[in-house]
Structure 1
Amino acid sequence: MDTKLKKNKSKRKVSIDLIAILIMIVLWACAFPSDYYLHPRTIDFIQYFLLSTVVCLIVGKVLFHFNYSPKQREFWRGSALVYYVHLWKGRIKDRTITLSILIIFVLTAIAGICGWKVATSFYRRDTVWLILYVVLYVLLVIPYIMSRFSRFVKIVNGTKQIAEGNIQYTIQETGKDALSRLAGYINNMKLGYQSALDNQIKSERLKTELITNVSHDLKTPLTSIINYVDLLKKEELQSEKAQSYVQVLDRKSLRLKILIEDLFEVSKMTSGAIELDIETIDVATLLKQAIAEFSSNVGDASLEIREKIAQSPIYADLDGNKIWRVFENLIDNAKKYSLPGTRIYIYLDEDTDKVSFKIQNTAVYEIDFAAEELFERFKRVDESRQTEGSGLGLAIVKSIVELHRGDIKIEINGDQFNVIINLPKYSLVAG
């Protein structure tokens, strides 16, 4: 709309309504000099007659144009009034800015009225000053205020674009006034933020590559250690102490293997270097299998699992192996950090376009930090690290959920620890 208005204004140098005002001023000026020679009533009659004539001519022109012109809408598109109305609707949407403009208009109008009153106290022809003020107000004050506020609104909208994450947006700088300097400062801040963001992304990429490379390099010697430990386990060792050493080596090497695999996997997910094998799966059956597999281990901790699955089957387009890993990590996490003798509740339900999963347990440790920190790598509830674990379980879960375009959150209510996951039923990613 703004482009069309600008084109119309470029075709017509002076808008139709301003032309009408100028015609009235010229006609009035022609009649004004006779004020010194004619009776005041005669002067008033001439002025009102001329003004009425101009108004009638303009109204007649408009009616004629709208009756016979094939392009009726083009007639008023070049009007300054129409231009200001579109400018108001298209750019000035903020209530605070709108109120500021109205206040400025009211104050300038009051100032003009006061000036008009003062002028008429010295000069009896108050119509002269009234018309002069109206003309100056329409030709100078309104365009100036609207142009200044239009630039201000552009800066506000541009700042909003940048704040919403569109750091490629650049606010136009015109002139050398305070508004132009403000736009320049905001653009410079954006460039500084973009540079810092690029450096952070580069640093994260290098860190991920380092972790991936180190994890990969550790796999080969660790595999050799595990294989030799297996050979030692098959040997008939005479010393009980040697047998216990082998058992410790076996347990620690397997734990180190899991840690390296988790670290390698979370690094790949964070960098986006992983593809999902999307297929239609029965989420309810998959969850029941995960619960059945881990129920025996959970029983050793004097814990009880209560599943509340709304219905079965529940179908969704997901990566079955990755979702299994989600269930595996969350159930294992609940087993490790639940208060002995309590229950673990697992819920599964579906909606029109999503599958909702929730696991709830009573925490054995007090959580005195923000729940979102648990999604960070190597962050653990057990700060003393007496409980086995890599501290990567929830980080992996979050990465898998986000790869599926789902959402995950943690809610803590006293000792109650809840993990809530929503997954889309229909794939939003390419398989």
Structure 2
Amino acid sequence: METKGAGRSLAWLLATWVITRAVLLMFVFQVFLFPGPDVTTDVSVIYRGWYEVLRQGTFPLDDVTWQYPPAAALPVLSPMALPFLSYAHAFFMLAFLADAVVLGLLLYPGRRSGRSLRGAWVWVAGAPLLGPTVYARYDVMVTAVAVAALLAGTRHPRVMGALTAFGALLKVWPVLLLAGAVRRRAWGAAAVTAAGLAALFSVSMPGAFAFLTFQRNRGTEVESLGALVFHVGRHFGWHGQVLLNYGSIEFLGPHVDQVSAAALALTGAAFGWLLLWRLRAIRRAPHTLAEAAFTAVLLFTVTSRVLSPQYLVWLIGLAAVCLSYRASRMGAPALMVVAASFVTVLEFPLGFLHVVMSDRYGVLLLVVRNGLLVAAAVTAARRLWRSTVTPVPPAPLPPEPARRRKTPVSS
């Protein structure tokens, strides 16, 4: 009977994935037009432009919008694998394939003892809430690497280390997967892989690390937590600008440098908390690795001066890995991230004009979305601390059996 119920649940899961992904593909292939700005232009225009440069054997040295580590060249060049399709259509199909890989990874351990299909449901239901952005950025490919790394971590630390390093050279943030890694083999494999790949890219393609200097003069991106200062400030006389700067819509003007510095300070505080947690953690379970990674990425996401919609793809993937363990206590933060994903599609692309204009509706969307992410980060950090650092009170001793009184013997 239990096997029959599990089979039905899996059938519903797969049916939901097929339907939602078919809808996403129809949107990115523009069979139907998704309301708001066209999110696919990043692929058809920006990625395609980088592709033309990268295929010549060099990185886009004159393009300050190229702000990615060297391995990011691989997903940009990946449409070469499907030469019978146009560049954009090939990219969307490969993003769809990465989505399927994530589902397969979550389903594989989902049938084992101690594992659950909850994680797969988080991915299947959460990712499409972001709309076509999921397939119109290469973040879903990075997320697939990160999910594979975390699921390999408990049994194969070297594999986890190598995948983490590869992911970090795709888009930096996967380095945070090591937040909960305690085995030296994971760290050693990550260091060796990162060094080898970095050397390979440096020798083979000029400008592999030019991206490090392309973000010096960035402002505060309009969707970030710090941007709320300026959204509200515009209603009280703040005079600044909202411009396309370094590939994103940012605030530029008075006090932007101070808010950006404050965001950097908060990121430093988040790093300090993670370091303290590592030093104080006294209990670790198989799911601790995933929970630490989820918490770390949440903390660094909400404190960043850039909080683009595609960042939610990372968080949904990591939340899904956490909930693939029955014992995980990250259910509430995961639901907050899923809810934040739905609000995200309301602000981008549906309501992005309201966000750029800082009108009441746009500010409300950002307050709700960023508020959910802050609440998720705080809740995840608190639960991680309680489950690994806070001493467990000793179980009460059973009451001693009552002693029988000796009955005096009459003489």
Normalized against structure 1, the TM-score is what?
Answer: 0.26
- For CA contacts below 8 A with separation 6 or more, give which structure has more relative contact order: 2
Pick the structure with greater CA Rg: 1
Normalized against structure 2, the TM-score is what?
Answer: 0.27
Which is strand-richer, 1 or 2? Answer: 1
